[in-house]
Structure 1
Amino acid sequence: MLRDDFIFEGEYVLISEDGENLRTRKTPIAFKANGKFWVNNHAHILKCYEEHMNNLLIYYFQSLDLHEFITGAVQPKLNKSRLCVPFPFLPTNVAEQKRIAAVLSSLDDKIDLLHRQNSNARGHGRGSLPPLVHRTSPTRLGGEAPPVKLLIF
């Protein structure tokens, strides 16, 4: 069912509520949502009074070991009661919070740039260089180990 309506407007932090990803962390568990949006019941929605706190919370939850907060043996779940704990990492000084958020955001921007550059480099390199390793099928050699030719730089 496609939803055209929205139930939230503004900038919020979404935290995964359940699923194996809470344990394995194959994908991020914390996101920023901005604008008009709808969220199902599988996410916790946090609204920060200070906008810079959104990024700090995302970084915090991305780095937090959730094992002590997760319930459920088969289906991991992060309950609201376990989510609402004091955040010991936060300095009380707002200026310091903003500096930390700025540094972390800057590092994220650099990481994103490196990922894009890496993707572009891979795309440009395909087909323009000879293969680095050439293998001959072992069956063509009567089951013997195939010769390996290396291109040395």
Structure 2
Amino acid sequence: MVMKFLINIFSIMVNHHLIELAVSLWKERFSEQEPNGQLGEIIELFDSKRIPLSSKQREKMEKVYPYYGATSLMDYVDDFLFEGTYLLLGEDGTVIDPEGYPILQYIWGKFWVNNHAHVLQGKNGFNVESLYVLLKTTYVSSIVTGAVQLKINQTNLKSIKIFIPPIDEISSFNETIEPIFKKIRNSTDEIASLTELRNSLLTKLMSGEIPVAD
């Protein structure tokens, strides 16, 4: 358990550093630019495909595919709704960090999402990665509604004023940050594979399927 904890902490630290590098590159190129559009011009929303599952429903399922909520991985389930690379943005509950920026999750592979996170991809030159970096630098407190439970609805999300670079500039930026996000995906997948292998070996050792001498 201690080793798994240390591996996960190391992975989080490395990925955090890589994300900060991508954010700094965005700021260097575009932070001084005035807004010239709205977020709705560069996002595709897939919220209609979301299906929430109760804890009782999930208890009966084989743990295969990640099940995400507004802020994090919540569980694993036996089927998936999405396949590919997407960005999750908290819709209700915890939707902003202490500085007023949105809660984001960069997700790839096969997975399930409940109805507490917006499911996004980029368009008009933006891919998921450049959309992620843009939103990491976008203050959204002004569009949050709800006194008891905070919420970012679709209308307000689409209305956020942003700077949209010319298509050639955003394409160039996409190429610049792709190796960064590829490293994030590869390192995360590698650690997940090693963790799975370790768990499998420990199970076989405990059951006597693999002799300790081996």
Shorter-chain TM-score category?
A: 0.5 to 0.7
Length-normalised TM-score, structure 1: 0.57
Query: What is the CA deviation profile of residues 87-130 of structure 1, one whole-angstrom value per residue up to 9, with x for unaligned ones?
Result: 6322131x3112223445667899x8xxxxxxxxxxxxxxxxxx
Higher relative contact order (CA 8 A, sep 6+): 2
Q: Is the 8 A contact 2:100 2:139 kept in 1?
A: no
Q: Does 1:18 align with 2:92?
A: yes
Aligned twin of 1:100: 173
- Which is greater in Rg? 1
Going from structure 1 to structure 2, the CA distance change for 1:108 and 1:7 (only over 3 Å counts) comes to closer
> Alpha-carbon deviation of 1:39?
0.5
Partner amino acid, structure 2, of 1:67: S
Q: Does 1:56 align with 2:56?
A: no
> Alpha-carbon deviation of 1:45?
0.5
Q: Is the 8 A contact 2:86 2:119 kept in 1?
A: yes
Query: What is the CA deviation profile of residues 121-141 of structure 1, one whole-angstrom value per residue up to 9, with x for unaligned ones?
Result: xxxxxxxxxxxxxxxxxxxxx
Alignment of 1:125-136 (within 5 A): none
Q: Is the 8 A contact 2:86 2:106 kept in 1?
A: yes
Q: Would you tell me which structure has more helix in proportion to its own residues?
A: 2
Going from structure 1 to structure 2, the CA distance change for 1:48 and 1:27 (only over 3 Å counts) comes to closer
Aligned twin of 1:37: 111
Going from structure 1 to structure 2, the CA distance change for 1:64 and 1:21 (only over 3 Å counts) comes to same
- 1: CA distance between counterparts of 2:106 and 2:97? 20
Query: What is the CA deviation profile of residues 59-108 of structure 1, one whole-angstrom value per residue up to 9, with x for unaligned ones?
Result: 12212111111001222111111112366322131x31122234456678
Length-normalised TM-score, structure 2: 0.43
Going from structure 1 to structure 2, the CA distance change for 1:51 and 1:43 (only over 3 Å counts) comes to farther
Aligned twin of 2:152: 78
Paired residues in the alignment total 110
The gaps in structure 2 that reach 5 residues or longer are 1-57, 62-76, 185-214
Choose which of 65, 84, 91 in structure 1 pairs with 2:139. 65
> Alpha-carbon deviation of 1:6?
0.3
**SS of the counterpart of 1:22?**
coil
Question: Matched residues, percent identical?
Answer: 34
Going from structure 1 to structure 2, the CA distance change for 1:40 and 1:67 (only over 3 Å counts) comes to same
The root-mean-square deviation of aligned C-alpha atoms, in Å, is 3.2
Partner amino acid, structure 2, of 1:100: F
